[in-house]
Amino acid sequence: MDGTLLDLYFDNHFWLEHLPQRYAEQHGITRDQAFDKMIVLFHETKGSLNWYCLDYWSEALGVDIIALKEEVKHLVQIRPFVVDFLEFLQQKNCKRILATNAHRKGLDLKLAITEIDKQLDEIYSSHDFGCPKESQQFWRALSHVQPFDPARTMLIDDNESVLNSAKTYGIGHLVSVAQPDSQKPPQPKGDFVAVECFSDLIF
């Protein structure tokens, strides 16, 4: 979802700017000291379910993550042409499934703002299954509750580790997002076909 359907700018700003600043204020330290503490935890958890778990970060940092996200929720934005693309898929009788690593609490916040769920048929969080999309266990668990033919499935994602996991599982059509954060340059070209705008997928 984040960096794919939604602009990753919100998350990057929150985790790299807003949270360190608010953590510093609440704990009486400098922003740089706060960031240095967080970056250690970021490296320790990246790719794991805790990396995406807002309850984990609230406990680990001693802050109310959701309350802090509410402070900058005005930055949550749907990427251009996403709604058009999802409507196009509906017209083609394609099932539109959101499979996300986003924690349910953060997911609920963003759905309330964007109402993107109205354009989706099903929504599954990795937290429902207890494993991130980077693992094969996630795709097996998803297939049990939402059977799908991997060879006829398309996955669009901004995370190359997730795309590699999906490739290993056998998902046949894999597309990466060239510029998940609208305020940063495009990502370096990876191993997957990259789309710059969702309008490129409407035909």
Provide the pLDDT for residue 81.
97
**pTM for the model:** 0.94
Please report, for the chain, how many H helices and E strands are present, in that order.
10, 5
DSSP assigned state of 172: S
- Say how far apart CA 97 and CA 156 lie, in whole Å: 11
Residue 189 pLDDT exceeds 90: no
What topology does CATH give the domain 78-201? Rossmann fold (3.40.50)
The chain-wide mean pLDDT, for the chain, equals 96
Q: 72 near 23, Cβ under 8 Å? A: no
- Say how far apart CA 155 and CA 71 lie, in whole Å: 32
pLDDT range class, residue 119, cuts 50, 70, 90: very high
User: Residues 55-113: pLDDT tens digits?
Assistant: 999 999 999 999 999 999 999 999 999 999 999 999 999 999 999 999 999 999 999 99
Provide the pLDDT for residue 183.
96
Which residues, including other chains, have CB under 8 Å from residue 12's CB and lie 6 or more apart? 181, 183, 184
Beta bridge partners of 78: 6
Backbone phi, psi, residue 30, to 5°: -80, 160
* DSSP symbols for 49-112: GGGG-HHHHHHHHTS-HHHHHHHTGGG--BPTTHHHHHHHHHHTT---EEEE---HHHHHHHHH
Pinpoint the residues of the chain covered by CATH 3.40.50.1000: 78-201
